[in-house]
Amino acid sequence: MIQTGYADGNKIRLLHNGSEYFTALEQAIDTAELEIHFETYIFKNDLIGHKIAAALIRAANRGVSVYLLIDGFGSYMLPDSFIQRMLDANVKVLVYRREVLFFKLRRYRLRRMHRKLVVIDACIAFVGGINIIDDFEQLRDEQIPRFDYAVLIEGPLLKKIYAATQRLWLIVAWAHFRKRWANNIKLQPTGEYKGNQFAGFLIRDNIRHRHDIEQAYLEAIHNAQNEIIIANAYFLPGIYFCNALNKAARRGVNVILLLQGRVEYRLQHYATHALYGNLLDAGIKIYEYSKGYLHAKVAVIDRYWATVGSSNIDPFSLMLAREANVVIQDKILANQLRASLKQAIINESTLVARTGWQSKSWLYHATNWLSYYVIYYAQSILGYGQKKTNHNSNA
């Protein structure tokens, strides 16, 4: 196991979808006394965006130091006037790699800040996959939220989480010539025990932690004895990850994948389908979530090991973006997450039948594989620039 970043004595609460997350987040912001660190890939100009922005402004108005970091690609559509309103209220806002020419292909475009982290007063933290965006906006007629998770954390793990948010803020602040903003950070988490859960905080960056999240997955899969359930919105792993799942299934582990059923990004959707045949042949069960949009990035293994975070299992998350996941070794939380996933699998998803999949036309399968190679080629061009890197080399 990757032990760096793990700590005992934590109290971790699972949050289902935006309805639970946004309520808990707003309450936590309103109780902040000293400092808020906030990182999100998408901060949208909608009902939820205005609600959370208003809470951050209220905090700043009562003297709380508020540091908001948004991604320049994910939050590209956020109006300057929206940001200026927060700046005028003394909310410190930085944009990670701001996009200037959105439709121009540029090298390294896919190296984004995809994390969703909030740390309040260095004593509680939120980590997960939920952006600041109205859950119901795109499915207004059906009133079905995006299927996603986050966790609320108290305890010694805050030392790791706070250090990561502080470090990234300092890097971006210096890059934006905001030295004064960088020097105002002073808090230190106490490390006090709040519960009895053993958990790790794992990040993915392009320096020291390039493969930590993927390696944690692979180690847990290799050690699995009974069951693996992975729910992932954008599932496009390399050969080592696929082989690990196939080997687990062939040694008798019940491997279940809950994947995107609705077509959200067509190229990604077809590329993922290119992998179905090999996975189904190994005995892996694939379910497609069809009730709404799946946005989760979670897994439960042997009813004990669980992960919740921002990292998809695709080239963007595993090789390019800044990501953050929490790994929890705790039967209670793992079974809570498992029960939620099983409910979605049984009542809200469709099983992909192996025989039906094999009978699809050659043109359909060819389209899938073409999409697969297009994505990896685009990733190599927009992600790595002139240096071409084998997408299977990071296991």
- Residues with catalytic function: 114, 116, 121, 295, 297, 302
Q: DSSP readout, 78-109?
A: S-HHHHHHHHHTT-EEEEET--SSTTS--TTT
> Which residues, other chains included, contact 116 with Cβ-Cβ below 8 Å and sequence gap of 6+?
39, 40, 41, 126, 127, 128, 129, 130, 131, 150, 310, 324
Q: Are 67 and 95 in contact (CB under 8 A)?
A: no
Tokens for 375?
């994505």
Q: Which residue has the tokens 């509680």?
A: 124
Query: Alpha-carbon distance 3 to 223, whole Å?
Result: 15
Query: Alpha-carbon distance 220 to 352, whole Å?
Result: 25
Beta-bridge partners for 351: 287
> Pairing relation of β-strands 124-128 and 117-120?
antiparallel
Count of Cβ atoms closer than 10 Å to residue 195 Cβ: 17
Q: Are 205 and 322 in contact (CB under 8 A)?
A: yes
Q: Are 159 and 7 in contact (CB under 8 A)?
A: yes
Quote helix, strand, coil % in the chain, to nearest 5.
Answer: 40, 25, 35
Q: Which residue has the tokens 């905090």?
A: 59
Q: Are 337 and 308 in contact (CB under 8 A)?
A: yes
Helix (H) or strand (E) holding 340: helix 331-348
Q: 210: buried, middle or exposed (CB in 10 Å: 19+, 13-18, 0-12)?
A: middle
The per-residue b/e assignment along 72-98, b for 16 or more CB within 10 angstroms, e otherwise, is bbbbeebeeebbebbeebebbbbbbee
